[in-house]
Amino acid sequence: MDSIDLIKKLSDVEGISGFEDNVLEVIKDEMKNFYNIEKDSMNNLYINNILPEERKKPVIMLEAHSDEVGFMIQSIEGNGLLKFIPIGGWSSQQVQAHKVKIQNSEGKYINGIISSVPPHFLKNDGKTEIKDMFIDIGAFSYEEVKEIYKIEIGAPVIPNVVCEYNEISKLFLGKAFDDRIGCAIITEVMKDIKNENLNVDVVGVISSQEEVGLRGAIVSSQKALPNVAIVLEGPPADDTFRNKYTSQGGIGKGVQIRHIDPTMIANPRLVKFIKDIAKKYNIKYQETVRESGGTNAGKIHLENLGIPTIVLGVPVRYAHSHHNFVSLNDYQETVKLVKALIKELNENIIKNF
């Protein structure tokens, strides 16, 4: 499989929370010749889901979320500017003057920019909150927006970015690596293990609406009901503002193993097993203890009377902004680790978690 093309394709595709359909179509197209695929009304996607009564082996769930942070049109001004709200977590300093695209009522994308005040007119510190920003599509009236551009209230707004890959640095520069990088890992791993003789069954789950409250995972984990869950994430990198001793999310430092965040304490026996496997297979990894943030693991580990769950991450520089960096090397190390875990897990090991 061409990992580079897959990652670029998933980065470029549009899919803010609640509007993940295009992302799912990419994944379905990649997986259609390999597994049965199901989708529910929450826009969760299930790859090789196995009904509880048909299971003969423990089930490992590989989980990632399809949605990206973006915006939604709230109202249309008389002068043609568009009022919007954030979907997911944004900092106002990362929003102004960036290109976006708005999906209109015909499914077409209209380009625009998030308005900014020229420096000539700025006063005081010049800071603007998101609630005071607008999107400018080059229209001059309410009627023009509605009748010509066919943009309606509730329209999804996506960062307008095309993913690039640098052969020298082996870095991708694009959008939405939180969490399209996790989606790519699941897609690649599920293909690679298709004909493996394993002691476990593997289900791939692509959950919706993580960025607005871990909502899809509440439903998807109840349907998948795994014995172990591996959550694949694109967590924020910290190596641009922390030193080599305190950084726990460095680009090029390998897969990130998460011990804790405010939503979950990782099962310590599972953590030890994963670190032992990483060492056995000579896989580069780093560890993190997070004071903030959260993932779908926060909901997943509480289902099915408690599911041993781990978050494995590929660090993303400048997550939750228009432009992110992510490392192909870190991606490949994570794929290797996930495949090694699947190969090594069995019923007896899982019982001891």
Enzyme catalytic residues? 210
Rounded Cα distance between 176 and 165, Å, is 14
Cα–Cα nearest to 82, from 119, 113, 109, 121: 113
Provide the CB-side half-sphere exposure for 311 (13 A, CA): 30
φ and ψ at 323, to 5 degrees?
A: -125, 125
CA dihedral 188, 209, 50, 272 (to 10 degrees): 70
- SS3 of 3-63: the string is HHHHHHHHHHCCCECCCCHHHHHHHHHHHCCCCCEEECCCCCEEECCCCHHHCCCCEEEEE
Rounded Cα distance between 111 and 103, Å, is 9
| Residue pointed to by tokens 């249309």 | 76
Rounded Cα distance between 33 and 202, Å, is 16
Rounded Cα distance between 237 and 240, Å, is 8
CB 47 within 8 A of CB 63: no
Q: CB under 8 Å to 241, separation ≥6 — which residues?
A: none
CB 225 within 8 A of CB 59: yes
Cα dist. 145→72, 97, 117 in Å? Answer: 15, 20, 22
| Residue pointed to by tokens 């942070």 | 69
Q: Which two structure tokens, joined as six digits, stand for 45? A: 């996607």
